[in-house]
Structure 1
Amino acid sequence: MKDKHIIGYRPGTGFMYQLSAVSKLLFFLLVSVSAMATYDTRMIAGIALFSLMLFRLSHIRIKDIAFVLIFTLIFASLNASLVYLFSPKYGVELYGAETVLIGGLGSYSFTAQQGFYLLNLLLKYLCTVPLAVIFLMTTHPSQFASSLNQIGVSYKIAYAVSLTMRYIPDIQEEYHTIRMSQEARGLELSKKGKLMDRIKGNLALIIPLIFGSLERIDTISTAMELRRFGKNKKRTWYMYMPLKKMDWLVIGLAVLVVLLTLALFWLNQGRFYNPWK
């Protein structure tokens, strides 16, 4: 049984599982690029709400991705804090106005413009992280490899990506198994132990696991070479799914998001939406 902390494909039913990996991949890439490119808050907020709605429809449990959510929250908070620390007036420069909300801090006085810019940064995480989690947890690795090949990626690269997606959950599962066995032997690796002891203990587990993984990769590569993998220019896919009407609608929606982003670039005369203009 898979550990609840492992992020990877999990069989299920529903709308997301019925879509082709090609449409999901294109939607994820196009929408994510659009969300990263624009700083129009209206657009980013709309994509974020839509991403959260799709996440709800995918029926992925929050506790299954708790680690990803915690890591994202920490990283987003650190990113926003560093931006404010090293450039506290960047928002003022961008929007050409200064509305002080919290004064008396000199150059670090908090302005509405800086807060608005940081809000845009944080919203971008809500746009991309739910889509990435949905794609990873509802797309079979073989379907993902097939989708890469369908959009023009070499099947050798696609197959390598497929093996990676299959192998990462196995490594996570093996790590948790080894960790639990070491804790059963008296090695404290949980939150109860001291921080440095936990770091040393986890490093003692991770380093041999990495070298063991490299050895297994070499074994797989040798086995594939012996079976003459890569001899032909093309190959067929067992998990191939043809594009259906719903897939084309999803791809069309992604293209519409890109076109809307370009239109906002022209309307705003740049990447940024300025409510103080």
Structure 2
Amino acid sequence: MSPKLLAYIEKDSWIHRLTGSTKLLCFLMWSMTAMLSYDTRVLMVMLFLSYLMFKISRIDFKEIAFVFYFILAFLVINNLAVFLFSPYEGVHIYHTRHDLVKLIGPYTLTWEQLFYQFNMTLKYLTIIPIGLIFLATTHPSEFAASLNKIGVSYKIAYSVAIAMRYIPDIQRDFIEISQAQQARGIDLSRNEKLLKRLKNMGAILMPLVLTSLDRIETISYAMELRSFGKYKKRTFYSERPFRKQDGFALLGMGGLMILFLWITFSNGSRFYNPFL
């Protein structure tokens, strides 16, 4: 298991040197563009650019592989659910029907449905790398400062920052408790049957919950002793000043957003239709 899970990974890259506010705004613009567009041409270009930015960030894939595969698993489940509950959504969108394979019952696989779900998958794959880059290159304290800078209450911003810090702590505690329980003879390996392994997991989850509750109580006492929430505003030690490279990043992302949305809606619809 990776030593870090959705945690800040310190590197020396151009993306790391951007302020948290800049990265947050760029991420929001990128996500909004990907969600609005169903133009395959735009999504393919965005997919290429997203993985190019991942390379620029210098984040090793193995450092975020667990999270990436976890999201992909949910993406597969989502695709299956879309086909199960709306097998002809593509037909309704593109106003044509080309049957590919007749399945059981009322289900027939069509080219339109495949193309629709292909575009839907592209949308997620363009956002996932950028989201992982944002989380891996932004320090939690700086993230809180960036949220507060764009108008979010510092109480909410600080809560989000604590949650981001808490994820690696939970993972570390899980590993330590798991190793301690295995040293006491509780087998969690593949040698045991699945049901037995699930039952043995209870010996880990209960201490993990109690440890988490104890940490929450400690943090709440520390914040209360420091009069957290007494004033309407506060400053952040990790907040960094806005620089030229931040302006270039925002202008570049804003320009890409306008260009991609113009291409998307140039034919009067946000759906690219190759079946006409």
TM-score for the superposition, normalised by structure 2: 0.91
Indicate the larger mover: 41-50 or 168-177: 41-50
Q: 1:33 is matched by which residue type in structure 2?
A: M
| Contact 1:30 1:255 (8 Å CA) reproduced | yes
| Contact 1:52 1:126 (8 Å CA) reproduced | no
| Contact 2:7 2:135 (8 Å CA) reproduced | yes
Give the match for residue 230 of structure 1. 229
Change (3 A) 1:5 1:234: closer
Structure 2 stretches of 5 or more lacking a match? none
Report the secondary structure of 2:247's partner residue.
Answer: helix
Q: Deviations over 1:141-199 (max 9, x none)?
A: 11111111111111121111111111111111111111122223221223333222222
Q: 1:166 is matched by which residue type in structure 2?
A: R
Report the secondary structure of 1:269's partner residue.
Answer: coil
Map of 1:48-67 to 2, 5 A cutoff?
A: 48-67=47-66
Give the match for residue 72 of structure 1. 71
Indicate the larger mover: 111-120 or 39-48: 39-48
Aligned equivalents of 1:128, 1:202: Cα separation in 2: 33
May I ask how many residue pairs the two structures share in their alignment?
Answer: 276
Q: Percent identity?
A: 45
| Contact 2:31 2:127 (8 Å CA) reproduced | yes
| Contact 2:177 2:207 (8 Å CA) reproduced | no
Aligned equivalents of 1:3, 1:84: Cα separation in 2: 33
Q: 1:120 is matched by which residue type in structure 2?
A: N
Give the match for residue 109 of structure 1. 108
Change (3 A) 1:87 1:264: same
| Contact 1:6 1:173 (8 Å CA) reproduced | no
Aligned equivalents of 1:7, 1:71: Cα separation in 2: 12
Q: Deviations over 1:212-271 (max 9, x none)?
A: 313322321222122212222222221111111111122223323432354245423233
Give the match for residue 198 of structure 2. 199
Aligned equivalents of 1:203, 1:251: Cα separation in 2: 48
Aligned equivalents of 1:161, 1:7: Cα separation in 2: 13
| Contact 1:15 1:57 (8 Å CA) reproduced | yes
Give the match for residue 256 of structure 1. 255
Aligned equivalents of 2:249, 2:206: Cα separation in 1: 42
| Contact 1:39 1:120 (8 Å CA) reproduced | yes
Q: 2:110 is matched by which residue type in structure 1?
A: T
